[in-house]
Structure 1
Amino acid sequence: MITAVALAGYAALVGAAMPPLLSQARWPHRAPVIAIFAWQGLMVTFVVATALTVYHLVLAEHHVHEGLLGLLSVCGLAGDAPVSESAPTLGDTLALSAPAVIVLLPLGWFALCTWRARRARQRHLDMLALIGEPAPGYDATVVDHDTPAVYCLPGRRRRVVITRGALDVLSDAQMRAVLEHERAHIEGRHHLLHLLVDAFSRAFPGLPLAGHAKAQIALLVEMIADDRALRSHSRDALATAMCEVAAGQAPRGALGVGGPGALIRLRRVLTPQPRPHRVTWLGVVAASAAAPLLPLLVACGP
C-alpha cells in the first residue's frame, strides 16, 4: 500500500502540479524542441505512474505475483523474480486489464485521431483538386479566397495552400518566408505531435497536464517552424507575413502559419533571446528521460 501511495503521489505531481510551472517558465520559448521533449516526458511519466498505481491497488490485493518483478517473470521478462506457486486465475487476469487500459487508452485515441485527421485532409485534398490552381514559382496550390491565409496539409499527399488574399498582400520575400515555415511543419512531421497530445487529452479529459500540454505544444511547434524560416529569411519578412495572415484559419488536419499564440511568437521573432545554457538543457533532457523510469524503480523495489 505504501508503494501505491507513493506512485499515486508521483502521478498527481506530474499530472497536476508540474504543468502550470512548466507553462509559466521562460526557457521553453528559447528552446522549443527541448520543451516539447519535456512535455512528452511528463505525459509518458503520468501514464506509467498511473498504470503502476492501479496495478498495486488492484493486483497486489489479489497476491497474484510477488510484486511487479513477479509479473515480469510470469511474462518471461525477468527470470530471477519470485513467482507465486499458484497459477493466475480468471479474476487475476481481468484485474490485470485495469492497468493495461491506462496504457492502451491513449494509444487507442491516437489511432482514432490519426484516422479522423487523415479523413479530413483527404476531403480537403479532394476539394483542392476541383478549385485549386498551381502557384507559379512557389510550389503551392492557390485557392480563390479573400482572407489572407497560408497553411499546409501534411502526410503522404503533402500540400502547401495559399489563398488569393495572401498573394495580394504578401511580397515575394514574405511569401517565401511563410512557405518555409509551412515546409518545416511538413518535414518535421509536426502533425504527429498534435495527434499525440490530442490523443492524450482525450484519454485523460480534465487533467491539468493534458490541457497545458495541448496548448503549449501547439505553440512550441509553431516556434520551431518560425526558427526554421529564420534560417534563410529575415525577421522583418517573417514578422510582417505573420501579421498579414494572422486572421487566416487553417482547416481541420492542417497547420497554418497564423497558428496559436501569434502575438507571443511575433514578439519572439522580433526580439530574439539567447538559448538556455548547455547545462540547463542537458539537465532538462536528462530529467525528462529519467522521469518515466522513477515509478518503475519504485514499483520494482522490495
Structure 2
Amino acid sequence: MPTPVVLGALAVLLAGPLPWVLSRWTGLRRTPAAAMLLWQSAALAAVLAALGAGLSLVTARLWEDPAGPGDVVVACLAGAVTVVVLARLLLSGHRTGTSLRRMRRLHRERVDLVAQVDGGVSVLDHDVPVAYCVPGMSRSRIVVSRSTLTRLAPAELGAVLEHERSHLRARHDLVLEAFTVLHLAFPRWVASASARREVEVLVEVLADRAACRTGGRRDLVSALVTLAGSPAPAGSLGSAGSSLAARVEVLRDTRPHPWQSTAVSVLAAAILALPTLLVVLPWLDRLV
C-alpha cells in the first residue's frame, strides 16, 4: 500500500477512533504521567501523519522519472491540501490562544480590583467555596473565596493550594490548549472530543498527586468533597474540576503500577515513531 495512503489512514485513526478507545481505558489514570505522554504522542503523531501524507504524495510524484504532467498536477493538489491542513492548525492555534489569553487577562484584572491578597493568594469576599487558578506567563493568580478559608481545615486548604500551584508549575493550561487547538483544527467527522475531556481529567489527577506528595490524601479528598460543584471561570483551572468521582477513585489507589507505566510509555513511543518513520524512510532511501 502506498505510503501516503497509510499516513492518511493513520491520521484519521489517531484523530478519532484511537482517542475514543483510549478514553474508555480508565485504568490509564492510575499512571497519569505515562497516560499523558501517550495522549500527547498520539496527538503529535496525528499531526505528523496528516502533514506527512501530503508531503509523501508530493515527493512520490515528483520523484517519478520522468515526472509527467499528471504527476505534477497530483503533486500540486497534494501540496495544496498539506498547506490547508497546516493553515488550519496555525489559525486554530492563533484563535484559541488569543481568546484564552484575553479572557484570562480580563479575569486577573477583575480579581485584582476586588480581591484581597493574603500570602500570595487572592481572596474573594464570597459565600460560595471556590478555589481555582488563572494561568499566565508571568501574572498567574490563585483565587479562593472567604468561604473556602472558613470551611476548610488548614491541612485541607494547604492541599488545595498545592493542587493549584502544581497546575501553574506544570503549565497544564498549555497542555489543554494544545488539545483544544487540535480538536478545532481537524474536521468534525474526524476529530474526537474524547481526547480533550480525558486530558482534562489527567491534569487534575496529576495536580492531585502533586498535592498528596506534600500533604495527606484524606485532607485533599475531604477538601475536594467540600468544593464539589464549585464554579470555576472559563479559562481557569479549578480544584473541583473534571470528574471528581474518578479522581477520588484514583486517589484511593495507593499501589505503584511500574509495569503499566513502562508499557504505556513504550506504546507512546511506538505510536509517535510510526508516522515519523513512514515520512522519513522514503527520503533516506532516496538519498542512499
Structure that is richer in helix per residue: 2
Would the alpha carbon gap of residues 30 and 113 (structure 1) be closer, same or farther in structure 2, given more than 3 Å must change?
A: same
- Post-superposition offset of 1:237: 0.4
- TM-score if structure 1 supplies the norm length? 0.83
Would the alpha carbon gap of residues 49 and 107 (structure 1) be closer, same or farther in structure 2, given more than 3 Å must change?
A: same
The alignment partner of 1:291 has SS state of: helix
The alignment partner of 1:258 has SS state of: coil
Which of 150, 154, 158 aligns to 1:172? It is 154
Distance 2:161 2:195 in 1: 26
- TM-score if structure 2 supplies the norm length? 0.86
Map 1:290-301 → 2, pairs under 5 A: 290-297=273-280, 300=283
For the pair 1:248 / 2:230, whether they are aligned, the reply is: yes
- Post-superposition offset of 1:282: 4.2
For the pair 1:153 / 2:134, whether they are aligned, the reply is: yes
* AA in 2 matched with 1:142: V
The alignment partner of 2:214 has SS state of: coil
Q: Is the 8 A contact 1:48 1:295 kept in 2?
A: no
* AA in 1 matched with 2:275: P
Q: Report what 1:14 is aligned to.
A: 14
Q: Cα RMSD over matched residues?
A: 2.9
What is the aligned residue count?
Answer: 282
The alignment partner of 1:115 has SS state of: helix
Q: Report what 1:96 is aligned to.
A: 79
Q: Report what 1:283 is aligned to.
A: 266
Distance 1:91 1:284 in 2: 35
Partner deviation per Cα, 1:113-151 (whole Å, 9 max, x = no partner): 11111111111111112211123xx42011122211100
Partner deviation per Cα, 1:138-196 (whole Å, 9 max, x = no partner): 42011122211100111110110001221221111100100000000001111100110
Would the alpha carbon gap of residues 5 and 288 (structure 1) be closer, same or farther in structure 2, given more than 3 Å must change?
A: closer
Q: Report what 1:206 is aligned to.
A: 188
The 10-residue stretch of structure 1 (120-129 or 7-16) with the greater mean CA deviation from structure 2 = 7-16
Flag as ranges the 4+ runs of structure 1 deviating above 4 A: 82-86, 88-95, 297-302
The 10-residue stretch of structure 1 (46-55 or 31-40) with the greater mean CA deviation from structure 2 = 46-55
Map 1:1-302 → 2, pairs under 5 A: 2-55=2-55, 59=58, 63=61, 65-66=62-63, 96-135=79-118, 138-155=119-136, 156-206=138-188, 210-277=192-259, 279-297=262-280, 300=283
Distance 1:169 1:210 in 2: 39
Partner deviation per Cα, 1:68-126 (whole Å, 9 max, x = no partner): xxxxxxxxxxxxxx89699x989966752321221342233122211111111111111
For structure 1, the residue ranges without an aligned partner over 5 or more in a row are 68-81
The 10-residue stretch of structure 1 (199-208 or 172-181) with the greater mean CA deviation from structure 2 = 199-208
Partner deviation per Cα, 1:185-241 (whole Å, 9 max, x = no partner): 001111100110011111114356531110111110001000000001111100010
The 10-residue stretch of structure 1 (284-293 or 140-149) with the greater mean CA deviation from structure 2 = 284-293
Would the alpha carbon gap of residues 288 and 91 (structure 1) be closer, same or farther in structure 2, given more than 3 Å must change?
A: closer
Would the alpha carbon gap of residues 299 and 47 (structure 1) be closer, same or farther in structure 2, given more than 3 Å must change?
A: farther
The alignment partner of 1:249 has SS state of: coil
For structure 2, the residue ranges without an aligned partner over 5 or more in a row are none
The 10-residue stretch of structure 1 (122-131 or 185-194) with the greater mean CA deviation from structure 2 = 122-131
Q: Is the 8 A contact 2:34 2:265 kept in 1?
A: no
